[in-house]
Amino acid sequence: MSKPDYTIEQSAHAQGYLRVAGVDEVGRGPLAGPVTAAAVVLDPDHIPDGLNDSKKLTAKKRQALLEQLLDHADVSVAHASVAEIDEHNILRASHIAMIRALEGLKNPPDLALIDGNLIPKGLGLPARSVIKGDALSLSIAAASIAAKIRRDQVMWDLAQQFPGYGWESNAGYPTQAHRDALRNLGVTPHHRRSFKPVHNILYQE
């Protein structure tokens, strides 16, 4: 399996885009919690070794990489709330989180590399979509790490307030234990009411 590299960013630099931000989101599939996005502008002279798609790394490795990124890169993480997910839809909410993450960078980027095949509406800066970007671009891989760690922390915190759903380990994804708890314990304020398994419990006959 090939690992992400800096080719896309270098090509953008050659075209005059000096600050290139990788953008990724995590948390589209869960039944509970926010959707979280991160934007990262790497320092070409201080790119941590071992950057990869967050799903291919251990929690310990992700944490070590994030600490290096926070030392040398411009990192911003943002969320879209459960209310925003239910109001818009999960895709639009994930794009809202991406825009917020980009707006949170210390300095505005010249170009955003967006993981996936769609560019968020209203982005307000040049952008390119990169399908499977977290496997191709080091900047997007870095964003995937920052987003996952931050969202996992949010879900761990929520798990302390709402025990029994297993959010500290399933991060709100629809595991069997989470589905069982939803039926047995009910729907919390942090559940996405527009998602079918939650909606069905709320409005069952």
Q: What is the pLDDT of residue 205?
A: 42
pTM of the model: 0.95
Task: Round to whole Å and give the CA distance between 98 and 189.
Answer: 23
- Locate tokens 């025990």: which residue? 163
Binding residues: 24-25, 115
Q: What is the pLDDT of residue 203?
A: 82
Domains for the chain: give ranges and CATH numbers: 7-149 (3.30.420.10)
Helix (H) or strand (E) holding 200: helix 196-202
Residue by residue, pLDDT tens for the chain (205 residues) are 579 999 999 999 999 999 999 999 999 999 999 999 999 999 999 999 999 999 999 999 999 999 999 999 999 999 999 999 999 999 999 999 999 999 999 999 999 999 999 999 999 999 999 999 999 999 999 999 999 999 999 999 999 999 999 999 999 999 999 999 999 999 999 999 999 999 998 887 4
- Residue pair 148/120 in contact (Cβ under 8 Å)? The answer is no
Residue 61 Cα to chain centre, angstroms: 17
134 closest CA partner among 4, 17, 1? 4
Question: Taking CA 75 as the corner, what is the angle to CA 111 and CA 78, rounded to the nearest 5 degrees?
Answer: 90
- Residue pair 33/94 in contact (Cβ under 8 Å)? The answer is no
Task: Round to whole Å and give the CA distance between 23 and 129.
Answer: 10
The two tokens of residue 84 are 């925003």
Binding residues for a divalent metal cation: 24-25, 115
- Residue pair 4/137 in contact (Cβ under 8 Å)? The answer is yes
- Sign, Cα dihedral of 141, 142, 145, 146: negative
Task: Round to whole Å and give the CA distance between 100 and 76.
Answer: 9
Give me the amino acid identity at 58: T
- Residue pair 177/160 in contact (Cβ under 8 Å)? The answer is no
Give phi and psi for 150, each to the nearest 5.
-65, -40
